Amino acid sequence: AGTLDRPSGADMRYVQELLALVERHRIPAPGPVEQRWSAGSASPMSPARGPPESVHSWVGIIMYAPPDEAEGRGTKDGAEKAADGSVGDGEREISRPVTTKTRPAGVRGEVQQAFERYALLVDRELSERYGALSHWAKLELPDDPRDRERVRRLIASRLPVGAFQRYRADLDPKNILGSPEIDALLAPEGPPAEEES
């Protein structure tokens, strides 16, 4: 999004294009769109890596789903208790895709599937153009091999994956901290980002 002194306007263009995409595809996305900003991060593997004066925009897309059918209608005070222990109003926010192996059944599963399509559409139509990376906690391994490769290439173009792999080989030679999903997305092929030493 540029800097505070010189904003690029990319953050606003991204959200305008996101809203146009929602309207064009008639996606039942609730508003408002969540958008936050942060300063650049000194962490080389951060999606917001950059100098401290740089501004990075985080855009969240969500859909709301009913509670799981097996959970009943709510807690004794009428509010729904979420899996993390927080209490809400009976609707649950779905803010990242899950694999089809873990998708719940029923209406909640239908909403989850609709969200997966929404997230994939946003990723395909906007991420590469804007160099947008998901927050590591929200990143999912796409089911389609072409989408997986596209995400891997985008990560490799923005982050110093080669340097990460070298440090990882020294510090975690048995890949104890790895996972098949992260290993696939951090595969070293592709055009590298500027390497950190």
**Distance between CA atoms of 89 and 67, rounded to whole angstroms?**
10
Helix (H) or strand (E) holding 179: none
User: Could you tell me the CA-to-CA distances from 108 to 34, 65, 115 in Å, in that order?
Assistant: 22, 5, 10
pLDDT tens digit sequence for 39-77: 999 999 998 889 999 988 888 888 887 776 555 544 333
DSSP 102: G
Say what the alpha-carbon torsion angle 174, 144, 141, 152 is, to the nearest 10 degrees.
70
pTM of the predicted model as reported, rounded to 2 decimal places: 0.70
**Distance between CA atoms of 103 and 110, rounded to whole angstroms?**
9
CA atoms within 13 A on the CB side of 124: 12
Domain boundaries, the chain: 10-140, 141-197
Q: In the chain, which stretches have pLDDT less than 70?
A: 32, 68-105, 189-197
Helix (H) or strand (E) holding 12: helix 10-24
What pLDDT score does 1 carry? 78
**Distance between CA atoms of 34 and 126, rounded to whole angstroms?**
16
What pLDDT score does 69 carry? 59
Region label for 183, one of left (φ > 0), alpha (ψ between -120 and 50) or beta (otherwise): alpha
